[in-house]
Amino acid sequence: MAANEIKAKNLYSLNMKNGCLYETIITTQNLKGEYNAAPMGVVCKNQDEVVLYLYEGTKTLNNIQNTSTFAVNITQDPLIFTETILGDVSPDLFEDYKSFPVLKNVDGFFLVKNIAKKDVVRKDHLGESHLFIITAQVQEIVKNREYVIPLNRGIYAVIESLVHYTRIDMVDDEKQFIYWRRIKEMNRVAQKVGSSDDKKSMQRIIGAIKEKVGDLDEKFKERIN
């Protein structure tokens, strides 16, 4: 173990909360031993288990199906997220931990064991898709810094909505409609991935908007489907 690595007990030591979905980078290996890294959402089911929802056709899903393992890397680095989607991920980005690829320079990571897979068809706002639900037990957690904050979109949804709230009574109807549509989208995100406090905050903001400028669903009912 490197000098700056701290072993952690369970997912709560990574500040994960039950039911929240965190944006992470999943690292895997194919049968030829080639490394892969991709952003994926990870739901904290309880202190020792995570759930992933993987769409068909990703290398990540193929590798997990073939090797039955993966690592969850925790970072807030925008360039890591961007490069793992848009760029060719350089082998220099990886290091080995107990013979498994993880990312260098992340805040922490964990390896998993006992993967269970279920395949379902899901309908959401993007239409119908074929998904694999992967449940896995946390095997070993390593923190590279004392305090790790896993990335959750709930707080950003609340902050974006609050910014719009402060301006929603100062703009013309066109802009107000745009703000309201964004707030509704932020509410969808917070309800799906956020903490109970994020969800509570969104309800408060939506209630306060109604008090401030009236019922915007009613006002824009012709335009909101």
Ligand X SMILES: Cc1cc2nc3c(=O)[nH]c(=O)nc-3n(C[C@H](O)[C@H](O)[C@H](O)COP(=O)(O)O)c2cc1C
Within 112-153, residue ranges assigned H as helices are: none
Q: At what angle do helices 173-193 and 196-213 cross, to 10 degrees?
A: 160
CA 11 to chain centroid: 15
- Least Å distance, CB 143 to ligand X, is 21
74 binds ligand X (CB under 6 A): no
* The one segment of 37-45, 142-150, 159-167, 205-213 that binds ligand X by CB under 6 A: 37-45
Contacts of 127 (CB under 8 A, 6+ apart): none
- 3-class DSSP assignment, residue 115: strand
54 binds ligand X (CB under 6 A): yes
133 binds ligand X (CB under 6 A): no
Of 26 and 148, CB closest to ligand X: 26
Among 12, 15, 39, 47, binds ligand X (CB under 6 A): 39
- Other Cβ atoms less than 10 A from the Cβ of 110: the count is 26
- Least Å distance, CB 23 to ligand X, is 4
83 binds ligand X (CB under 6 A): no
Contacts of 82 (CB under 8 A, 6+ apart): none
40 binds ligand X (CB under 6 A): yes
- Least Å distance, CB 156 to ligand X, is 12
127 CB-side CA count, 13 A: 2
Of 21 and 158, CB closest to ligand X: 21
Residues that bind ligand X (CB under 6 A): 23, 36, 38-41, 53-55, 58-60, 81, 85
